[in-house]
Chains A and B, each alone.
Chain A
């Protein structure tokens, strides 16, 4: 379980307009590229001083590559990061205001308290 790395993916994609579009259009390719090239970059250090050990589990890779926000919620990814990125990628596909957010919530309606732990 590497909740931290899942969050790092959501965080670094959400803050970059080009990556938002790339992840929307090619989720599996973006996740594979990101894990290979970006996952181990320390955000405040030069490239040569990267981390050496971070990787997704198969389940995490599948959830991210499948745009599966329900699976991400169930595994304890930070819900604010997921929601913000999903709004950026998918709100445009809905005509009515908040339709995307309500559909997103509906797909999580089987979840009850306590929600999965988001502590990293």
Chain B
């Protein structure tokens, strides 16, 4: 069977790429610490020596649109071009080409559908910064094949938080059962409290530091029950109007199961809090 060697759940911050490449005299005061934390986090993936990456993210109205909006979608293609004109324009992100892993995509689709998730699929998917930000931060050599999984955290009606956790648990079962000798890592990105296009955007901190502190605790402790007891589709409006991206963290908690993260770190930035978690299901050296 395949071995799930690492589970990484993190925020995705599209400005990291540009910020990390600024000369020291041009860089903002928080840049050096940010780069240091990202490099330390990268090591948590490197040491797991993965062969293939399952990547959970959410399209930001780039390819997926309201005329035909899937709730959960799995990419199945040999390659994925990445990043869009408006991400180059706004964030300075580079265009990338990721390799796909069609066999694992097919397996996840077949098994997911048979386990009662009617997953949509795409044979021609251009992924956006929800997938490429973690490539840039934790696998900048971009040398591994990927299976992108998109969730709808953006265009209501959305699936409920319980459904994200359940999908994570199902993905875990599927990877654990995959007849392969490959080492799989799952990397998922979401948000803590976040406001975009509303009155609380771009403040000195995330819009709701109290929510962020609780969220970091839930994730770090693998406290799925505590998280589910406090988070609903309606409640996620309060910390910030884009906070439904937290449900991608909940999906990742579902993959990790009820256990503490082996690595947990965070960084308070303007506008949003960055957070970095890694679990090693079978220990670090497995």
Chain A interfacial positions (CB closer than 8 Å to B) = 4, 7-8, 11, 14-15, 17, 42-44, 73, 78-84, 87-88, 98, 101-102, 104-106, 108-111, 113-115, 117-120
Residues 243-265 of chain B, each 1 if its beta carbon lies under 8 Å from chain A, else 0: 00000000000000000000000
The answer to whether A78 and B61 touch (CB under 8 A), given A43-B67, A105-B202, is: yes
Which listed residue (B60, B156, B157, B241) contacts A115, Cβ 8 A? B241
Which residues on the A side are within 8 Å of B84 (C-beta)? 15
Q: Decide: B202 and A98 in contact? CB cutoff 8 A.
A: yes
What's the dominant secondary structure at chain B's contact region? loop
* Known A11-B61, A98-B270; 18 more pairs at CB < 8 Å: A17-B89, A43-B65, A73-B198, A78-B197, A80-B61, A80-B196, A82-B197, A83-B197, A87-B90, A88-B89, A102-B202, A105-B200, A105-B201, A105-B202, A108-B199, A109-B199, A118-B156, A119-B157
Report the minimal beta-carbon distance from B152 to chain A, rounded to whole angstroms.
12
Question: Is B219 engaged at the interface, CB distance under 8 Å to the other chain?
Answer: no
Which residues on the B side are within 8 Å of A117 (C-beta)? 156
The answer to whether A88 and B86 touch (CB under 8 A), given A81-B61, A113-B237, A113-B238, is: yes
Question: Is B242 engaged at the interface, CB distance under 8 Å to the other chain?
Answer: yes
Chain B, Cβ-Cβ closest to A110: B199
Query: What is the bound-complex CA distance between A8 and B155, given in angstroms?
Result: 13
Which residues on the B side are within 8 Å of A104 (C-beta)? 197, 201
**Residue of B86, B200, B238 most packed against chain A (CB within 10 A):** B86
**Residue of B86, B197, B199 most packed against chain A (CB within 10 A):** B197
Question: Is B117 engaged at the interface, CB distance under 8 Å to the other chain?
Answer: no
Which residues on the B side are within 8 Å of A110 (C-beta)? 199
26 pairs, CB–CB < 8 Å, chain A vs chain B: A4-B66, A7-B66, A11-B61, A11-B65, A15-B86, A17-B85, A17-B89, A44-B67, A78-B61, A79-B198, A80-B61, A83-B201, A88-B86, A101-B201, A102-B202, A104-B197, A105-B200, A105-B201, A106-B199, A108-B198, A108-B199, A110-B199, A111-B198, A115-B237, A117-B156, A119-B157
Q: Decide: B197 and A80 in contact? CB cutoff 8 A.
A: yes
Report the minimal beta-carbon distance from A40 to chain B, rounded to whole angstroms.
12
Query: What is the bound-complex CA distance between A120 and B67, given in angstroms?
Result: 10
Query: What is the bound-complex CA distance between A113 and B195, given in angstroms?
Result: 12
List B residues 71-94 near A (Cβ within 8 Å): 84-86, 89-90
Report the minimal beta-carbon distance from B12 to chain A, rounded to whole angstroms.
14
Chain A, Cβ-Cβ closest to B238: A113
Report the minimal beta-carbon distance from B248 to chain A, rounded to whole angstroms.
15
